[in-house]
Amino acid sequence: MSQAGESRRATTSTGGVIAYEVLGAAGGEPPVVLLHAVGLDRTVWAGWTGPLAAAGHRVIAVDLPGHGASDLEPGSPSLSGMAAAVAAVLAAEGAARAHLLGVSLGGMVAQTLAIARPGLAASLVLCCTMATIPDDIRPAIRQRGADARAGGMAAVTQPTIDRWISPAGRDDMPARRIRQLLFADDAGVFAGCWDAIADLDTVEGLAGLAGEISALVVEGGDDISVPPGSGARLAAALPGSELVTIPGAWHLGPYESPATFLDVVQPFLSRVLRSSRITLRARGAQTSMPQTKARRGLANPEGVGMTELANPAIPIRRAAAPLRSQAVDYLRSAIVTGVYKPGSRLLEKTLTDELGVSRTVIRESLRQLETERLVDIVPNYGPIVHTLTKREAAGLYEIRAVLEALAARNAAEHATADQVGRLRAALGQIREAAAGGDLGKTLELKGAFYDALVSASGNPTIGEVFGNVQARISTLRSRSLSHAGRPDAMVSELTGIVDAIDGGDSVRAARLAQEHVEAAAALALDGLPDE
C-alpha cells in the first residue's frame, strides 16, 4: 500500500483466509472497500489509499479469493463466492455498511454483493466494468481463460497488458507492477475468473436497488476491453446512478492515473456522506463532521508512487512451476511478442526488478534462451536479443513450410467436424482483425489458428517443433504482414487451406499450406542482412 496500513485476515464460512489491509482511523462512517481487477491484488491501489485516508475515509483494500495472499474458495472462482469473501471481511471489521469501489472484476463483485446483501452497500463506485456480457462477446471472454489454461500466464500476460494499459503507460511503474502480478498469477484461477465473468448478468438485480443506493459509473473513453456503451448500459440498469467518462483512459486507467479518477470519485463520496448525514439528522440522530484534509493539499497529488510500496517486488509464486521455468517462459514471451526488440540489451538488474527473482535465476534463464537461439550472450557486453540473418530465417521458414504442410495434410485426413469448426471460427476472427487493420491482434489470432490446426492434425509433436520455429521467426511475422495487400492475401490463403481440410483433400491442403508459408517468407526475408 502507498502508506503504512495494517495487514489483517478474515475467515470465510468455508474456512478460507482472506487477506486485506486497513488504512485510516476507525469512525462512525462506512469504510471505503477497494476491489481489484482479475489477476491482481490489493497493492495496485497504491495511488488511492493515501488520498482517501487523508480525506477522512477508512480504507479497506481486499485480496479477492485466489489472489494475493487470499485462499481460493472451494470450487471454481465465482462472483458470488468473491462477494461472500468481501462480506466476511466487513463482518470481521464490524462494518454493517460500506462504500464498495471496484475496477473491472472488482466492480462486478461489488454489484453482486450489493444485490445479495441489500442495505450493506452505502454506495457503489463501478469503474471500467459491466452489468452483463453481450452474447456475441461471451466466447471471446471464455477464450481468455482457455488461453491461460493452454499456455500459462507467460502466454497471456503481454496480450492482457496490451488490452488494459495505454501505450504511453506500459513502461511506467503501475504497468510494471501489474505485469509482475499477472505473470505471477495462477493460470487456473485466472482462467476460472474469466469463466465467471462470461456468466455475468446483474441487470435484473440492479433494477431492484433503484432508489435504494447511490451509484457512480466511471468508464474510460479509450477502454478497448469492454464493448462500447457498456458504461451507459450499466448506468441505465441502476436508475438514478451517475455516469462519467474519463477521456483517453484505458481499462486500468484507475491504476494508471489515480488522481484523474479520484477527482471524480472523491466529490461523489463527499456528496453521499453529506446526504446520509442530512438523513440521519432528519431522523434525530446525532452526528459529527470528521476533520478532513483536502487531497490537493497532499505533497503528492498524483498519489504515492508504486516504488514506495513496502515490498514492491512481486516474487513468482513458489507453488507453481520452478522459478527458472517461469522466468524463461516470461522472457521468451516478451521476446516473441516484441517487448524486447532484436539487438536490445537484456540487463540483469532490470530483469531482476521486473520479475522479482534473483540474478541467478535470470542468468540461468538467459542461458536457456541462448540454447534456443533467442538470446546471444556477447563477451564483455552481456546478453542481447538475437537478430536473425537472412540465411537463418530462410532455413526456419523452410522448416515451417514442411511442418505446416504436414499438419494440414493430417488435418484433412483426420479432423472432426468440431475441429474444422474451430478452424473456421479462428479464421473468422483473423478476417475481422485484418479488415480492421489491427496487425497485433491479427498475429495473436493466427497463433490460435495454428493451435487449432495442430490439434486437428492429431500429431502434437508437430506443435512442439512448430512452436520453437515460430518463436525464432516471431519478429519477422509482423514484417511480412505489414506489406500492402498481405493481410487480405493471407486471409485468402488460410481460407483455401481450411476449405481443403473441410473437403478432405489432403494433397491440396498440404500444397496450399506450403505456398502460404513461402509467400510469407518472401516478404519477411526481403531486406534482411545476409550475415
- Structural domains in the chain, CATH included, are 6-131+201-278 (3.40.50.1820), 323-385 (1.10.10.10), 390-525 (1.20.120.530)
Q: Place 4 in a pLDDT band, splitting at 50, 70 and 90.
A: low
Own/partner long-range contacts of 360-363 (Cβ < 8 Å, ≥24 apart): 361/323, 361/324, 361/327, 362/327
Report the pLDDT value the prediction gives residue 287, as an integer from 0 to 100.
34
**Whether the Cβ atoms of residue 215 and residue 107 lie closer than 8 Å to each other:** no
**Whether the Cβ atoms of residue 157 and residue 190 lie closer than 8 Å to each other:** no
Q: What is the mean pLDDT of residues 321-335?
A: 73
CA 416 to mean position of chain CA atoms: 32
In the three-class reduction of DSSP (H, G, I as helix; E, B as strand; rest coil), residue 6 is classed as: strand
Q: How far is CA 217 from CA 44, 233, 269, 431, in A?
A: 20, 10, 13, 34
Q: What is the mean pLDDT of residues 193-199?
A: 95
Weakest-pLDDT range from 23-32, 75-84, 188-197, 236-245: 23-32
pTM: 0.58
Sequence-separated (6 or more) residues with CB below 8 Å from residue 236: none
CA distance 248 to 328: 34
Q: What is the mean pLDDT of residues 310-323?
A: 39
Report the pLDDT value the prediction gives residue 79, as an integer from 0 to 100.
95
Res. 168: pLDDT tops 50? yes
C-alpha cell at 320: 507453481
The DSSP bridge pattern shows strands 6-11 and 17-23 to be antiparallel
Neighbours of 271 (CB within 10 A): 14
Q: Place 201 in a pLDDT band, splitting at 50, 70 and 90.
A: very high
Q: What is the mean pLDDT of residues 291-295?
A: 29
Report the pLDDT value the prediction gives residue 337, as an integer from 0 to 100.
66
Report the pLDDT value the prediction gives residue 284, as an integer from 0 to 100.
41
In the three-class reduction of DSSP (H, G, I as helix; E, B as strand; rest coil), residue 59 is classed as: strand
Neighbours of 45 (CB within 10 A): 29
Q: Place 107 in a pLDDT band, splitting at 50, 70 and 90.
A: very high
